[in-house]
Amino acid sequence: MRYNIAKPLTDSAGQNILQMYESVPERERGKFSEHHHTEIELCYVLSGSGRFKIRGTYYDIAPSAIFIFPSNEVHWIEELCEETQLRFLDLKFEPRLVWSPQLNLFDDNCLRTLFGSKCSNYIPPSDPLAEEIGKIMKEMHKECLSDERGYEIVVKSDLYRLLVILLRHEKFNDGEITPKNSENLKNIEKAIQYINSNLSKKFTLDELAEISCFSRTYFSALFKELNGVSPWEYINIKRIEKAKIMLIEGNETILYIANECGFGNLSNFNRIFKKITGKKPSDYRK
């Protein structure tokens, strides 16, 4: 269950690029489903205890711990303790919030922080870094809730401050990467905006590469480097996110939703939906 949901930051096309909220996992759900998404997620534990499972490794959930999930990182709550209500402060943001040339704040090193081989999923409560990041996340959440004039600037600045703190920490320091041409970044962002505005459409890699003015190979490689997911993974995740909203908010048939979300047939939709959410569409609707 989500509450204290703050006003999201959006791009020029109205797509959400940063969201913050508090969440309380529902005990009656029992064992939680594995899931993943295109956003990078930072999770700060406010109270309660349990266990996360990430890439086959278990991590104890405890107050003030920080969990970091890069794009497409499969994760789920494996265990919930009964004594105290488990509460998280969640920060989710699209990678392009970091690399988009529209912000004029691009720093390649931040990408290394998010996707580098040394990126750690867990910062224990005993590490002073956890307290520092938790404090910034609380400030960001408060600013988003306020919706005061210029809050977007403050939130973006706080996000960069958070990433720089991670960048300077030895757990996340993974060297330099090749700087990116600003025009190339604009072209990738153009493809992303085209995808997000046409999720019911059938795409081809040639079409997306042409929009970006790249070859198929270079488009795919640069897209994944910037976003942490391949173009097809990004498309499928965004289509499933649209389908989840339609399943909850509408009464359309699952076949209709599958078609509206760009899936050629129902079996393909069911397979990809379960792969991304851990559930069948019919179970998710319930």
236 and 147 within one domain: no
- What is the Cα–Cα distance from 98 to 102, expressed in whole angstroms? 10
Counting the structural domains of the chain, the total is: 2
38-86: pLDDT as tens digits: 899 999 999 998 888 887 788 899 999 999 988 878 887 887 777 778 8
**Whether 217 and 255 share a structural domain:** yes
pLDDT in tens, 164-190: 888 787 666 555 555 567 788 889 999
For 17-40, how does the pLDDT look when each residue is reduced to its tens digit (9 = 90+)?
Answer: 999 999 988 765 544 567 788 899
Alpha carbons 253 and 273: distance in angstroms, whole number:
15
Same domain, residue pair 220 and 276 = yes
Residue 82 domain flag: yes
User: Could you tell me if residue 174 is inside a domain?
Assistant: no
Identify any residues that bridge with 95 across adjacent strands, giving them in sequence order: none
Question: Do 43 and 144 share a domain, yes or no?
Answer: yes
User: Can you give the pTM of this predicted structure?
Assistant: 0.78
Cβ atoms of 193 and 15 within 8 Å: the answer is yes
Query: What pLDDT shows up at residue 241?
Result: 92
In this predicted model, which residue has the larger pLDDT, 272 or 73? 272
- Note the pLDDT of residue 53: 83
Predicted pLDDT at 30: 43
CATH at 264: 1.10.10.60
pLDDT band at 121 (very low <50, low <70, confident <90, very high): confident
Same domain as 104, residue 198: no
Domain that holds residue 198: 180-286
> What totals of helices (H) and strands (E) does the chain contain, helices first?
11, 10
9, 63: one domain: yes
Shared domain for 22 and 102, answered yes or no, is yes
Residue 136 in any domain: the answer is yes
> Does residue 51 belong to any structural domain of this protein?
yes
206 lies in some domain: yes
207: helix, coil or strand? helix
184 shares its domain with 162: no
pLDDT band at 131 (very low <50, low <70, confident <90, very high): very high
User: Can you tell me the distance from the alpha carbon of 229 to that of 220, in angstroms, rounded to the nearest whole number?
Assistant: 9
Q: Is 130 inside a domain boundary?
A: yes
Q: Is 210 in the same domain as 130?
A: no
